[in-house]
Structure 1
């Protein structure tokens, strides 16, 4: 038996915040097309590898109101599988939840779509082995009940039993409890041969045997989804299953670290571009420049970063050199230094003010302002990685303002 486990395609992702007047149109087309290209590569591999079936574990689309283009693209890829006798098992997640009759989607006969209640579908492979696949599709954005309780224990009259579940490994008291929460022991108690999980975009195995897996998303969409993205190829060896990660994403997100202790402010732009050129990217990269420093940072540089002037300068040059460098600089992260020298404010006082201003309670209150926005926007802003990034950027702005105010006071003396 050989199959592909993939999830979180997020076809037609809007890549919020990337489009600006400097970004070359050709590069924007590559960004917009990247989720489609990655999935097409997965289907190419499924055909080349002659897999028995493909598991699509939720969030095939980025939002419930899927575009006509994304819908047509998915159907075209499913038809390619159908032409080669490859079955596809589909469950919808919290981004593309649906209550529609699967027969209305226009999918080919090889595509088995799970309904809103847990059900088990059986499939006979060409060699006569019988596979049972259990799963369900979200009928709304948030499902707080542990749907794992509705999954049957492994059936006896099949050769393999696989579970598909779009949800979160978490306690019921965490924010992730909105997404069909489960525990590792609950998965193991079902006695399945493999669990194909979706929803968490970081690829990871939850057990030593690597048979309970998040495949991660197929194309990173921002800096907190860095590194190679793709799918898991799963093959049987006697009665054991072995997994192999296969990268397919055309764009990789990453960080490039630059120490301000080793370069002057006047030479910073040149140093950044030289560092990128020395990396010799073989695949298109979207990068964040992460500045570090062991000492207090020049106030003018902090102002230049918080105003966006430094990024603008870099992107103006990058627009002409992105093909040569095979990268695009998306953002700059200011250094988080351990101690700063102020002329008018005590470090302890600043740290106390920062702690009172940037905390979970304040963030949760601000997050309520996004209730009127599309659900996928609130999901992205409320993510753990996004919250930390917002805290870091806000802290930098506070830091810059304190240093600037202190400098002005010194000049007035």
Structure 2
């Protein structure tokens, strides 16, 4: 008797894509023709963007552009190799030293993306028989990293320290990492870091914080959610942050002790087997670290814009999360409702992304509004006027 035919993987993928489209969950790429601060030209339309992660408005800063051009003219474009072969340039070394100093840690090591950094940390630290405890709303790369490591993954309800404690103490003998976002990318709230740090200290677990959306934004010097929470490197031994959000560049880093960084260089496969980021990009990121620390007005302006938006949204009766960061979601629940709202805002000249499952849990589709120091008061007022015209459901009392 002949064996049944093997499933056609491309047909299966096409069927899954078609089902996602039927559920109004299909993702699409849109090409930006030109960027001018918060203004984007897309398909012949000029839109005021409220969906970028350029929190400090540094992505188009002339000093970053000049540093990138200067380094590219001297070094070329590509680094030509992995860091451990011949791809590690002076620009990379200087950036790593600056990031270590800024975060108050012994060393830092660069990765090409935040996703790769988190995969690398998890794969290097964890093994089968170990445990990784994570917030359920952590970024996908933390979850994927734990799964790929072979460790047992335990996830606790969002920001629930008591639940995290139960997960952490359920296996007293296993080596354990507790990993959390510092600022949650879809909700904008800050993790209960001091409580989690105390828990990890008490239970001899290793705390790792992904501060992609807090680094550069929170804290007096922009050191991120750890600086804002007054946590030291001993309380949070593993810090990951990205260079493509508040710093306006691309890439990521992990900062910690000499032992941690040396270990990652030996065992983190996404570091070992990847071409180093272009040295010109590292040169631009170095300038961004200097500007982000020196120009404190950027954080002050961003905080003023956040307060202006939240006050205005409150006057409109809009339902907001508890976020006090640049990420200000308005949860609408239904995916089609979020799409319709985003399309109406675009018709009014505003670009606000509709975030739908599976990026967020089912029933929590939303408008994910992000603010930047590149915005002005008038931009925020324009957004509030457009939101008022949407006639969104009022906040529940």
Instruction: Compute the TM-score of the two structures, normalised by the length of structure 2.
Output: 0.33
- Between Structure 1 and Structure 2, the one with more strand by share is 1
Which structure would you say has the larger Rg?
A: 1
TM-score normalised by L of structure 1: 0.32
Between the two structures, name the one with larger relative contact order (CA 8 Å, sep ≥ 6).
2
